[in-house]
Amino acid sequence: MYAPKGIGALYTKKGIHLEPLIHGASHERGRRAGTENVMFAVALGTACKLASAMDIEQTRELTRYFYTRLKAAYGDIIKLNGHPEKRLPNTLNISFIGSNGHDILDALDHVAASTGSACHSGLSSVSPVLKAMGVNDSVGQGAIRFSLGRYTTPDEIEEVLKRLSQIIPVVQ
């Protein structure tokens, strides 16, 4: 959402009690101790307001376009990880079967992509989330999560496809 790192929001169902993360004072409605970061909280609010104005359908269509172009170029070498429709509109998690996602990302600098969750970046094992989804290790090793942003353009998608074709040969 373009908020600063280190800030987040938690939505809980009414009546749910959560154990405090850090015990001590009663900040964050008793959920953690420590001084609240007002500046980051305001920034998160601003990011939420901007995100609510984002054209989600346009982003979803661009993500579909990216996947369609990848499938056309790589056929059965590409596997979509997750549901084709019931997923975040700006995120595409795919596996390049027979390839290593880390190796691909090393050659794709300046592209918003990851081989796993942000908290596990740098690890070469298959994401626990992908494993829980039933993705086997040989497919999961080639997994990459691409994230499209508010300002991502079709030209940028084409540039990523061009750069990918220099790393992984297109299937004819």
CA distance 65 to 63: 5
Collapsing DSSP to helix, strand or coil, 71 comes out as helix
What's the confidence (pLDDT) of residue 1?
Answer: 79
What's the confidence (pLDDT) of residue 2?
Answer: 86
The whole-model pTM stands at 0.78
CA distance 152 to 125: 29
Query: Superfamily assignment of 56-167 in CATH?
Result: Aspartate Aminotransferase, domain 1 (3.90.1150.10)
What's the confidence (pLDDT) of residue 124?
Answer: 64
What's the confidence (pLDDT) of residue 51?
Answer: 84
Q: Which two tokens stand for residue 29?
A: 């409605």
Q: Is 48 a catalytic residue?
A: no
**C-alpha angle 93-89-115 in degrees, rounded to nearest 5:** 20
What's the confidence (pLDDT) of residue 149?
Answer: 87
Could you count the other beta carbons within 10 Å of the beta carbon of residue 61?
Answer: 13
- State the DSSP code for 32: B
Domain boundary assignment for the chain? 1-53, 56-167
What's the confidence (pLDDT) of residue 25?
Answer: 73
Q: Which of 38, 118, 119, 132 is catalytic?
A: 119
pLDDT by residue for the chain (172 residues), tens only, comes to 789 998 988 888 999 888 877 777 776 667 777 788 899 999 999 999 988 888 889 999 999 999 999 999 999 999 999 999 999 999 999 999 999 999 999 999 889 899 865 444 555 678 888 988 889 888 999 999 999 988 899 999 999 999 999 999 888 6
What's the confidence (pLDDT) of residue 122?
Answer: 53
Q: Which two tokens stand for residue 95?
A: 């596996």
